[in-house]
Amino acid sequence: MKLIITNSYEESCKYVAQEMVSLVNANPVAKLGLATGGTAEQVYPHLVKAYQDGKVDFSNVTTVNLDEYLGMSPDNPVSYRKCMDNWFFDHVNIKKENTYVASGLNDPQAEIKTFNQKLYGDKLLDFQLLGVGVSGHIGFNEPSAVLTAGVHIEELDESTIQANSRYFDSPADVPTKSITMGVGDIMKASKIILIATGDSKQPVISKLFADDSVSSDLPVSVLKLHRDATIVIDRALADKCGIKG
């Protein structure tokens, strides 16, 4: 697991976006795993700018998103489908039919089948973008006695509900379940980059780099087992975690 420390969160986002642009330029038919969430959100404007500046072509790229709230309409402003449209898809030349964000309204078992077809129907993910939750989750894989390898329905941790409540009128409005890639799905991506910033992520990042342990109590720790996983944090977060470099 590689660590990159940048001078600022803005620089982190630029770094991640450039890595994605370079990957697509090297492989115009790349299959990208994408993420939502407050940290990953700020990567997308840099991808849009790269496209607008003629530095990348997304016309033959396919994408699969990590997760979606169960029961969430794709038309809801806080749905991950709507977020991806607003942040990225509507501003570049990607074909919408080549993008997949799970539907929170379909029959869950039928949607799990569709999700798996999108993940594995042609080829594996060339790249996966990740954020990390305050609980240590990646995707919506929450701390538990065991972690699930494949696409599944996940009960959200109370800390996740509280953290995500800023996007809703109240915590009571936050969905309590999601459909998400499993950790095994994430780990099959050829390359993974996780971006983290902010005081709320200090406990998780500190635990991640405290030792070499891998635990289902800290789902993000499974990235230590991946052959090409990079964690990107800014200097302010690194200092709070006591991480040198």
- Determine the Cα–Cα distance for residues 131 and 138; give it in Å rounded to an integer: 7
Write the single-letter amino acid at 116: N
Burial of 115 (0-12, 13-18, 19+ CB in 10 A): buried
Question: How many CA atoms lie within 13 Å of 45's alpha carbon, on the beta-carbon side?
Answer: 8
- Determine the Cα–Cα distance for residues 15 and 56; give it in Å rounded to an integer: 15
Structure tokens at 13: 């986002």
CB atoms within 10 A of CB 93: 12
Helix/strand/coil (H/E/C) assignment for every residue in 81-94: HHHHHHHCHHHCCC
Percent of the chain's residues with pLDDT above 90: 86
**Domain topology for 2-241:** Rossmann fold (3.40.50)
Beta-bridged to residue 194, according to DSSP, are 130, 231
User: Residue 6: helix, strand or coil by DSSP?
Assistant: strand
CB of 194 closer than 8 Å to CB of 229: yes
Question: Over the chain, what is the mean pLDDT?
Answer: 95
Q: Which pLDDT value is given to residue 175?
A: 82
Cα dihedral sign, 170-171-175-179: positive
Average pLDDT, integer, range 140-157: 94
Q: How would you classify the pairing of strands 177-180 and 152-155? A: antiparallel
pLDDT in tens, 23-62: 999 999 999 999 998 899 999 999 999 999 999 999 999 9
Q: Which pLDDT value is given to residue 33?
A: 98
- Determine the Cα–Cα distance for residues 193 and 188; give it in Å rounded to an integer: 13
- Determine the Cα–Cα distance for residues 53 and 82; give it in Å rounded to an integer: 24
CA nearest neighbour of 188 among 235, 236, 138, 119: 119
User: Is the pLDDT reported for residue 167 higher than 80?
Assistant: no
pTM for the model stands at 0.95
